[in-house]
Amino acid sequence: MSKAQKPRKPDDFPVNAEGKKIKKQDGTPIANTDDPAVAADVAERLNEDEARREENKWSA
């Protein structure tokens, strides 16, 4: 079982995939995957979700 992590903050985005690792803006790793393609997909989805959340915040 993995340890619980703190929720991501807006300053953490966009996240980047570097090989099998997903990293915050400052280069701190937040996740590891078994496949670089999975890391890229997860990073893209996290970034899209955060962008949607920010857009909804400003449109409300």
Query: DSSP assignment of 17-35, as one string?
Result: EETTEEE-TTS-EEEE-SS
Q: State the average pLDDT over residues 39-53.
A: 96
Query: What does pLDDT average to over the chain?
Result: 90
The identity of residue 11, as a single letter, is D
pLDDT the model gives residue 9? 86
Pair 25, 11: CB distance under 8 Å: yes
Assess whether pLDDT exceeds 80 at residue 11: yes
Q: State the average pLDDT over residues 24-50.
A: 96
Residue 22's alpha-carbon distances to 2, 10, 17, 29, 32, in angstroms, are 16, 16, 5, 6, 6
